[in-house]
């Protein structure tokens, strides 16, 4: 099973916002990440990078 960790990017700073992400969807200007327990986390921004080998997702916040 591949679960990812999501980080937000602001300038050169990165901050972890959720772990064990199993699903992602876009609703309007928000990205909704849902973890393995079904808990959603909403972030306003755009996908900067997805690293499938290391299970990382980076979101650039506006």
What's residue 10's pLDDT? Answer: 85
- Please give the model's pTM, rounded to 2 decimal places: 0.89
Secondary structure of the chain in HEC code, one letter for each residue: CCCEEEEEEECCEEEEEEEEEEEEEEECCEEEEEECCCCEEEEEEEEEEEECCCCEEEEEEC
- Grouped pLDDT means (10 residues each) for the chain, 62 residues: 90 92 95 97 95 95 78
Q: What is residue 12's predicted lDDT score, i.e. its pLDDT? A: 82
Looking at residue 31, what is its pLDDT? 97
pLDDT value at position 1? Answer: 67
């Amino acid at each position: 099973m591949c679960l990812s960790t999501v980080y937000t990017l602001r300038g050169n700073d990165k901050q972890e916002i959720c772990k064990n992400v199993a699903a992602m969807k876009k609703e309007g200007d928000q990205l909704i990440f849902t973890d393995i327990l079904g808990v959603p986390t909403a972030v306003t921004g755009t996908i900067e990078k997805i690293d499938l080998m290391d299970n990382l997702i980076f979101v650039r916040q506006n």
